[in-house]
Amino acid sequence: MKICFYTQGHIGDLLLTLPFINLLIKKYPDNQYYQCVHGSGIRFHDTLITSIDGLTPSEDICGDINIPTWMCNSEYSEWKLPPGYSLEDQFTVMRFYWERIYAKHGFDIQIPDDLGLNFKSNISDSEKEIIDLFGQSDNKKVLIFNQRVKSNQTDNQDCKSYLVRISNLFPNWDFLYTNEEDIDSKLILNNNLFYTPDVFGVHECDIIHNYHLSLYCDIIAGRVGGPFMFSSMHNKNILDENKVIISQHEENPHKSDLAIFYNRKVYKAKNIHTKTTEQTFKELEKILCQ
């Protein structure tokens, strides 16, 4: 049987569903599983989809069973949270819907309480070697996701001046940023500010490359959108109690930090919640001064 998933959301919306799709694939491996590559005004790159074993990219919604995974889909409009249901993080939101999705299609799946993001780093060995070599250099590292988010759930302020300032203030740290900024190299005094594609090369989609680079970074900071989430919510980062993650997101009306955790129960890293770009860099400076 062919099962196809599709979403009307963005990259972050795709990411949140992957652990639940993975549970289904592992429990029922004899089916064929597809993810439609078209979201809301975006095409999901194949590497994001194939980071889950057994999931195949598809240009079309092609299944014998087609499952929408965006929880605002009209198909799920009648599913209301029961009184007292606690929304603690992204996992508790997803679990509410996926329990009903599984039941609707006759799948018998138990969702473990410790479910987290654990996709594979499916980039070439040569690309990994380049990232590993850079990551193992002496300086401690900060990875800054300065991309403009599509969801408009935080400011999209220009980061150029902040990046120049912080790299000059802290010469013994390496600072990496993911979204190109028009920075005059003459302003960088210490040769410690790097645009991440200058480390591992230019790729059509480099979200997985930045994730692999994040494994070597002591601090991960950025706006809560898909690229940031692929690194900041992965088990290998959030289970590291020595990591600091600065998550920039406006307040959620239900819970102020609901969107910045995948599964709060398994979280060991230190997470600092900020609301603006200015606040993010102020918090980063505080940490680096310690």
Q: What is the pTM of this model?
A: 0.95
Strand order in the sheet with 173-177: 193-195, 173-177, 140-145, 219-223, 244-248, 270-274
Confidence of residue 179 (pLDDT cuts 50, 70, 90): very high
Per-residue CA distances from 199 to 1, 63, 137, 150 (Å): 43, 40, 12, 25
Confidence of residue 258 (pLDDT cuts 50, 70, 90): confident
pLDDT of residue 37: 98
Per-residue CA distances from 116 to 6, 19, 193, 285 (Å): 21, 7, 32, 30
pLDDT of residue 27: 98
Strands (E), the chain: 2-6, 32-36, 55-58, 65-68, 140-145, 173-177, 193-195, 219-223, 244-248, 270-274
**What residue type is assigned to position 92 of the chain?**
T
All domains of the chain, ordered by start, with CATH?
2-104 (no CATH), 125-289 (3.40.50.2000)
Burial grade of 186 (CB within 10 A; 0-12, 13-18, 19 or more): exposed
pLDDT (mean) for 206-229: 97
pLDDT of residue 239: 98
Is the predicted pLDDT of residue 152 greater than 90, yes or no?
A: no
Strands (E), 45-192: 55-58, 65-68, 140-145, 173-177
Distance CA 256, CA 160 (A): 28
SS3 274: strand
Burial 238-270 (b: 16+ CB within 10 A, else e): beeeebbbbbbbbeeeeeebbbbbbbbebbebe
Give 186's contacts (C-beta < 8 A, 6+ positions apart). Answer: none
What would the pLDDT profile of 23-70 be if each residue is shown by its tens digit? 999 999 999 999 999 999 999 999 999 999 999 999 999 999 999 999
What percentage of the chain reaches a pLDDT higher than 90? 88
